[in-house]
Amino acid sequence: MYSYLALGDSYTIGEQVPFEQNFPNQAVQLLRAKHMDVSDPVIIATTGWTTDELQAAIREHNIRETFSFVSLLIGVNNQYRGRSLENYREEFSALLNQAIHFAGGHTDKVFVLSIPDWGVTPFAGERDRAQIAREIDAYNNAAMGIAKSHRCHFIEITQSTRENGVHADYLAPDGLHPSAKEYAVWASRLAGQVAAVFGK
């Protein structure tokens, strides 16, 4: 039995989407279809969390066990609140080290997902979309560099959100968060990489 820990914020818990349709659960369903016996994901994620809030929640959960694989998607709320890139690098690095620990020290079993670009959505209509895109890119470049330096996987999903975030069927009712249809894109990419690591 494989086990899966998903760490993140609204994009991981699946704000406004049925729980079974968030990307961790969809990824597990795809892996089961590949004949991997994966237990339901353990998810530590809440809408609005920043890197430090996720870190605090991890401490509160006091997780003792290790997992077959771990995903990490965090940072959009740092960007939304205008926090510095340097602060993000520092706190993201600490979270990634924590994720590696939860994966039993196996860096190849940690999967970082890039931060979606919420600036293309209807919610961001009155905001500077170009600035949001630049800041998201900077955060993602930092996360990718840190992930690769730790020999963890980095899964790019940002471009998908930029292409699909203008279409209503790829968005939740709030016009900000992804729908199950967009999460299916992320789940497919994650499941494909997880399956490859485990030789499935």
Residue with tokens 């209807």: 122
Q: Is the pLDDT assigned to residue 104 strictly greater than 90?
A: yes
Residue 110 has pLDDT above 90, yes or no: yes
Query: Using an 8 Å Cβ cutoff, are 118 and 174 in contact?
Result: no
Which amino acid does the sequence have at 150? H
Measured distance CA(34)–CA(36) in Å, rounded: 6
**pLDDT given at position 2:** 98
Mean pLDDT calculated for residue range 88-110: 98
pLDDT of amino acid 32: 97
Strand pairing of 69-73 and 42-45? unpaired
Show Cβ contacts of residue 160 under 8 Å, excluding neighbours closer than 6 positions: 182, 185, 186
Rounded to whole angstroms, the Cα distance separating 40 from 53 reads 24
pLDDT level of residue 195 (50, 70, 90 thresholds): very high
Q: Residue 199 pLDDT > 90, yes or no?
A: no
What does the pLDDT look like over 26-74, one tens digit per residue? 999 999 999 999 999 999 999 999 999 999 999 999 999 999 999 999 9
Give Cα 76 distance to the centre of its chain.
Answer: 10
CATH superfamily of 4-197: SGNH hydrolase (3.40.50.1110)
In the chain, where do the E strands start and end? 4-8, 42-45, 69-73, 110-113, 153-155
Rounded to whole angstroms, the Cα distance separating 141 from 145 reads: 6
Confidence of residue 200 (pLDDT cuts 50, 70, 90): confident
Sort 60 into a burial class: Cβ within 10 Å, 0-12 / 13-18 / 19+.
exposed
176: tokens are: 């900000």
For residue 159, give the amino acid letter.
Q
Burial class of 154 by CB neighbour count within 10 A (0 to 12, 13 to 18, 19+): middle
Domain boundaries, the chain: 4-197
168: which 2 tokens?
């209503």
